[in-house]
Amino acid sequence: MVITGLNQHSKVNKMPEEILFQPFPSLNPRQLFRPMMPTYEFEVSSENLKDKISSMKKIFEKSISDHGRDSDETELLQKFERQAIECVKNNCTSEFMNDYGREMAGFETEKDAFNFLESIFGSESEDDKRERAMEDLENLTRRSEKNEKFAMFLKRIQSIAAVISEKTDARKFIVDQHFAKNLEPCNKAFLRDHGYSKKTTDEIVAFLDSRDRFLSTNISAIQSTDFAAYFADKTSELLDNKFAKMEANYDQKSTELTETIKTLTATVARLEAENKKTKTAENASKQERQNFQNSQPASLPQFQNFSRNQQGFQPQNQFPPRVPFCINCGTQGHYKAICPKIQCYECKNFGHIGRNCSRRQNGGPVTSTQQWPQAQAQFTAPKNQ
């Protein structure tokens, strides 16, 4: 068993020959070296394979030291290098080995093998990577024929923009411009109709994916014999969905209408009861006032002269005198001070108030009828007096 994460206190259990006998690490099948391999893919695969071989070499050297094989170190290391070269060859495709197998057979170290691979695929500088990324971005489009989602297309744009510029604002500008450039006219109109044309790119992507705008209909795939049946089924399905929604909406509106009618019926009944109660109270009040007016004389004695004056000739430029009105009982012909229904708080009799009470002036009780001559004289006296 080989122990990884070595330090000065750990010990490798396997002997060097056992390590050489076991298989060396390999790459993922998609990472194998192949003809016309993109430079960025070669760099990723090359670095991964170098790291694996380097880790295994450290374990191998530690095994030589732990098992006291220093005398055989040179020979063992040569064997390791040959195994490492075979490891590099095994991580190349058969097409690549058909083209460059003879050249790779003469290498003595794995470093020579990697240098040869770099001479074939080349190494990129930062400027070369940026230029290549700009070309890739120019040719990048959404895979609409495969119904690629807008979120995945946005991630591909962002990965390329990260190579072009390290500035966040510049990357965001590149992503927004290229995404808007690749939007179909129908989706642009769809965003404009729904008020999303001015939203951010992330919001637009989420909205389009939620509405399944990434799907495309391949009408050419429909056979001519099934053309009418396809649209008939589609139309029937749409109509069924429409009628189902209409029925559900009708049930909901019917329920709401029933509840509204019940509420309005209860409200109308309550208002009618309140109106009837108000009218009954008003009629009772009018009847009581009418009964009181009928019980009063048509014209009190002290106001008879006033009535006669009303029938006589009125001097020119003179206003006709106002008819007395009692605010206590609501009838004409007298004032509150001498109202027959008002009670004196001095003598407790009706027909006058306390300030006109004879008991208050003379110290003796006086009935309300004793005040009528005085009141008559006051109303019939001329204004100049």
Residues 289-303: pLDDT tens digits? 665 555 555 444 554
Q: How far is CA 284 from the centre of its chain?
A: 61
Q: Which two tokens stand for residue 125?
A: 């500088």
Measure the CA–CA gap between 138 and 168, rounded to whole angstroms. Answer: 20
Work out the number of other CB atoms within 10 angstroms of the CB of residue 85. Answer: 22
Q: What is the pLDDT of residues 335-376, one digit of tens each?
A: 788 888 888 888 888 888 878 888 777 765 544 444 444 444
Higher pLDDT, residue 134 or 12? 134
Measure the CA–CA gap between 285 and 279, rounded to whole angstroms. Answer: 10
Residues in the chain: 385
CA-nearest of 146, 136, 117, 155 to 35 is 117
Q: Which segments within 156-214 are labelled E, that is strand?
A: none
Q: Which two tokens stand for residue 27?
A: 């790459």
Mean pLDDT of 72-80: 87
pLDDT grade, residue 268 (50/70/90)?
Answer: very high
Helices (H) and strands (E) in the chain, counts: 14, 0
**What is residue 204's predicted lDDT score, i.e. its pLDDT?**
92
**Start-to-end CA span in the chain (Å):** 141
Q: What is the pLDDT of residues 252-265, one digit of tens each?
A: 888 899 999 999 99
Q: Which two tokens stand for residue 235?
A: 């139309």
**What is residue 344's predicted lDDT score, i.e. its pLDDT?**
87
Residue 380 has pLDDT above 80, yes or no: no
Predicted model pTM: 0.38
User: Please, are residues 330 and 317 in contact by the beta-carbon 8 Å criterion?
Assistant: no
User: Please, are residues 300 and 334 in contact by the beta-carbon 8 Å criterion?
Assistant: yes
